[in-house]
Amino acid sequence: MLKLRNDTLIRALLRQPTPYTPVWLMRQAGRYLPEYRQTRARAGSFLKLCKSPDMACEVTLQPLERFPLDAAIVFSDILTIPDAMGLGLYFADGEGPKFERPLREESAIRALAAPDPDTTLRYVLDAVRQARVALDGRVPLIGFSGSPFTLACYMIEGQGSSDFATVKSMLYRRPDLLHHILSVNATAVTTYLNAQIESGAQVVMLFDTWGGMLSHAAYDEFSLAYSKRVMAGLTRERDGLRVPSIVFTKGGGNWLESIADIGCDAVGLDWTIDIGAARSRVGAKVALQGNLDPAVLLSSAAAIRHEAERVLTSFGNGSGHVFNLGHGISQYTPPENVAALIETVRSFSTRFH
């Protein structure tokens, strides 16, 4: 297997010494890049772009042609699994993802089954394979999935929501039904991530976008427990090399210690928590990823430098930090601001290593 020429991300995730703090950005391949918008127009729709391995591979590599990033993340969507389960994913213009057949009836919930990624999700695995070959050992390739709970939110609600009232109603009125969905999802996510690892992903990340809206007890029972089940089932080594895992719960600052205990190598942080305080809480148990407010990238180069330096200084000396945003990059971000951020991280972080 081709040796990685830049393994800084892998080493940081495993808390090994690095010459600088590695950086990649959530949604780094996306609408803020004109080249992405051109490819997306060529594809005809977001879903067609996701389902074309050639174009998904092309988009995966686009940010690396512009910026000296330390990782690529396969271009896909967190809702590929429920789409493969037959819920009918579609994207309404300006409204985000929706499902034609949300899970509302007990009969549909009981009939839910984990898809076979080698058939219904082959397009993602093919994109992973192609991107791994195209990267040619340049940087590691990250695979990902939505968490069991976050997938359930969309599957039950049928779309995004400000409060996920339908999901929460099921959680309190029929927890047995929600647990059934989450159990099937945990199996599906584990199988899917392992298939991405088998296809060439060198790091995997679990996006728990909506876990942070739960109560303390509900988060533990309905989100964290199923993320832990996924972690327990992951392939940990491929071709003799460790495959690190990252778990990110948006709004999860209250539960850092609990997340760090589920078996992941790194915990992703949103921007609402100080990374130095987070480091003191989890100690050397896991690496930390984050956590610049994405809105900083809508400001000036001077502000970007100041805020990036603040995050790096807060984490402090030593390894175990992967610089990232606290959530996905805004589509309105000027690409030159991303360049300023990456240059700042690369140059300023060396003093901490």
Catalytic residue, from 11, 15, 40, 305: name it.
40
DSSP state of 33: S
Catalytic residue, from 20, 32, 154, 226: name it.
154
User: Could you tell me which residues come within 8 angstroms of residue 36 by beta carbon, excluding any fewer than 6 positions away?
Assistant: 29, 30, 59, 62
Active site residue 154: yes
Is pLDDT above 70 for 241?
yes
Q: Measured in whole angstroms, how far is the alpha carbon of residue 179 from the centre of its chain?
A: 23
- Helix and strand counts by DSSP (H, E) for the chain: 16, 11
Contact present, 300 and 333 (Cβ < 8 Å): no
Is pLDDT above 80 for 190?
yes
Contact present, 29 and 75 (Cβ < 8 Å): yes
Would you call 253 helix, strand, or coil by DSSP? helix
Is pLDDT above 70 for 312?
yes
Mean of all residue pLDDT scores within the chain: 96
DSSP state of 329: P
Q: What is the pLDDT of residues 39-79, one digit of tens each?
A: 999 999 999 999 999 999 999 999 999 999 999 999 999 99
Catalytic residue, from 11, 15, 27, 305: name it.
27
CA 218, CA 259: separation in Å to the nearest integer? Answer: 14
**What domains, with CATH codes, occur in the chain?**
24-292 (3.20.20.210)
Active site residue 27: yes
The per-residue DSSP string of 276-294 comes to HHHHHHHTTSSEEEEEE-G
Catalytic residue, from 31, 238, 281, 310: name it.
31
Helices (H), the chain: 8-13, 34-43, 46-50, 53-66, 80-84, 106-110, 122-135, 148-157, 165-173, 175-199, 216-218, 225-233, 256-260, 275-282, 301-315, 335-348
CA 104, CA 305: separation in Å to the nearest integer? Answer: 48
With cut-offs at 50, 70 and 90, classify the pLDDT of residue 209: very high
Q: What is the pLDDT of residues 121-161, one digit of tens each?
A: 999 999 999 999 999 999 999 999 999 999 999 999 998 88
> What would the mean pLDDT of 92-111 be, rounded to a whole number?
90
Q: Measured in whole angstroms, how far is the alpha carbon of residue 182 from the centre of its chain?
A: 19
Catalytic residue, from 7, 77, 83, 270: name it.
77
Active site residue 126: no
